[in-house]
Structures are given as C-alpha cells and as structure tokens.
A = this chain, B = another copy of it.
Amino acid sequence: MSGIKIALDVFGGDQAPDVNIDGAISILKEGKFDVELFLVGKEETIREMLGERGFHHEKLHIVDAPEVFGMAEKPSNVLRRKDTSLYRTAQLVKEGKVDAMVSAGNTGAVLAVALFVVGRIKGIERGAIATPIPSKRGFTVLLDCGANIEVRPEHLRDFGKMGYHYARILGKESPKVGLLNVGEEEEKGNKDTRAAFELLKEALGGDFYGNVEGRDILYGNVDVVVTDGFKGNVAMKAIEGAAKFIGDVLKAQIKASGFSGLLGGLLLRNAFKRLKKTLDPSEYGGAFVLGVKGVVTKAHGNSNALAIKNAIKVAYEGVKGGLVKKLQSEFGGD
C-alpha cells in the first residue's frame, strides 16, 4: 500500500499548534516511516507556520478547520462543534480518508469523538483508554485510564482482550494480562473482580496472569493491567505524582550537594536527566482509545514535539499491525 494516512489535530494540546507542526515535520524529515500526514486546523495559520519553517513535503496536506476546541471545555460539547479541528480530524477517520488520527487535545473530547464520530466496533460495549506506562518491563499497558468510571465484569474481560492486542502492536510478543486487585489470591477483591477473574481466564487462557497489585504496574510480571477507569486514573496519576515528587527531591539534593558545577554535580544532573527520560511518557507516544473503528491516538495534553512524533509513530504501528481488524475479528463485529 502507499503511505499510511494519519490526520493530526494541529490545535489540540496545551502547546498547540507549534508542537504539532514540529512533530509532523520531524517525522517526515526523519523519513523512516511511510506516512502521509493531514494537518487539520486553521489553514492560514498552518500555511504560515510551515512557511516560517521553510518546510514543504508532498506527503503533507492541510485540511481546514476554523475553530478550536478548548482544553477545559465540557467534552460532550465537541459533538456539536463540528468546525473544530478535533471534530474534523475524527471525521476524516470516519469517512475513511485517513487510517488513523492523533490529538493532544481535551481527553474527554477525544474520547467523545472516538466513540461517537469514529464509532464503536460492533460487539464491544465500552471503549477504553489504554496508556503505556514506563516500567521494569520497558512499558506496561494500563487500561482503562478514564473512559469508564464504572464497569461490569464483561467490560473488564473485553479490556483484557483489547489490551492484549494493543500490547502486541507495541512490540510485546506474548503479552501477559493482569487484573488489578488488592492482593494476588484468586478470592481477593469483591464480587465484580472475582467474576472478571473468571471471565478473563476463560477469554485469555494462559495469557491471563491472574490478579496483580498496584505495585505491579511499574514493577511486576505483566505487560497489561486491566481495571475500571476510576482506579486506572487514580493509579496513573499517583505514579505521575510520585515521579514528580522524587524528581524534586533529587533536584534539591543536586543543589544541596554544593558541587553542582563539578564532576559530581554533573553526574547527578545527568542521572536525573536520564531518569526523567526513562519516566517520560513522551517516549512511548501516548494512549490509544481502544474499541473504535479506527486508530485513535491521544497524546498527553502537555506533549512536546517529540511526544507528537512518537504518537504519530504508534498510530502508524497501530494501522500497520492491523489493530482495528484484529479487534473486529476478535469480537466478531465490524
């Protein structure tokens, strides 16, 4: 096939539009991925910005969208605001004009256009936000990270199946899936987790590892951790807070060491930089909305150009790996 077509919501994200433009340019300049990019947003602004950067490429197109959907707007409003760059980006997926979309915009609104513009795969009742989190195993996929505050055991089973395929796309050959619980023993948790345990065992067989605990997200023996969107959101943000706090403590120590200009201080500073890089979600290219009829990648709201570039890469991998088709055949729908 010719290049994989990916639409980018240029006006989504805290640092839009610059980081989106730069991320797009960077992946085309790199030239390693056979992508064709559609920059969606205020045409004139995009044209100007490309001009300023002196960048033109036959695989770079502009799709006009005069409005911007705000990072703090009520997510469901996006469905009425059809002239926003976010809505139009999703519409390109819906109409089959592109294979995938990337947005660093308002998470709830990206979820809304994924579910209601792109549309759910038949047989999947609930879409889920799946986030790869840096871990001992390279990364671990956590889902759901906030699409569903409350779920039934069948939904957790579906998340397990979707997470499995997503982890494969991201490069895990034979992913192990765990169910987030308060202990490892089979009888732990409540009625719902026990029912989900049985359903996951039935659906995944030997790829289901069993119950895991919060510490196993970063430090465990599974590649995918399944939970509801409330606990997933709490866990993800608790880890984020921990990393930030630890970063601050280290920074204070570099300062207090009194050697900040010397070899020791430099080493500390470098160790800290590498630590940040290891923990940086930008390196992993953002989350997927799983369960919809298209590859929808949600980059972190605070993405820089590198994060956008990596999000485009994982969208590319998602299309190349046939994620949507795999889920359609897995769930028997279309």
Contact = CB atoms under 8 A, between A and B. Distances in A.
B190 A219 contact: no
A259 B213 CA distance: 36
A237 B215 contact: yes
Given A149-B182, A218-B238, A246 B246 contact: yes
B215 A240 contact: yes
Report which residue of A150, A219, A220 has the largest number of chain B beta carbons within 10 angstroms of its beta carbon: A219
Q: Which 8 A-B pairs have the closest CB atoms?
A: A214-B237, A215-B241, A264-B267, A214-B238, A219-B241, A242-B242, A218-B241, A218-B245
A271 interface: yes
A97 B146 CA distance: 50
Given A267-B265, A268-B271, A239 B239 contact: yes
Contacts of A1: none
A190 B278 CA distance: 34
A254 interface: yes
A240 B259 CA distance: 30
Given A230-B231, A243-B246, A246-B243, A236 B264 contact: no
A303 interface: no
Copies per assembly: 2
Contacts of A83: none
Report which residue of A227, A238, A279 has the largest number of chain B beta carbons within 10 angstroms of its beta carbon: A238
A292 to B, nearest CB: 21
A225 to B, nearest CB: 10
Interface of A: 135-136, 146, 149-150, 180, 182, 189-190, 213-220, 227, 229-231, 233-246, 248-250, 253-254, 257, 259, 262-268, 270-271, 274-275, 278-279
B279 A246 contact: yes
A278 B253 CA distance: 11
A89 to B, nearest CB: 24
Contacts of A136: 245, 248
Contacts of A236: 214
A229 B182 contact: yes
A242 B244 contact: no
A276 B32 CA distance: 42
Report which residue of A180, A215, A217, A275 has the largest number of chain B beta carbons within 10 angstroms of its beta carbon: A215
A230 B271 contact: no
Given A135-B245, A253-B271, A234 B182 contact: yes
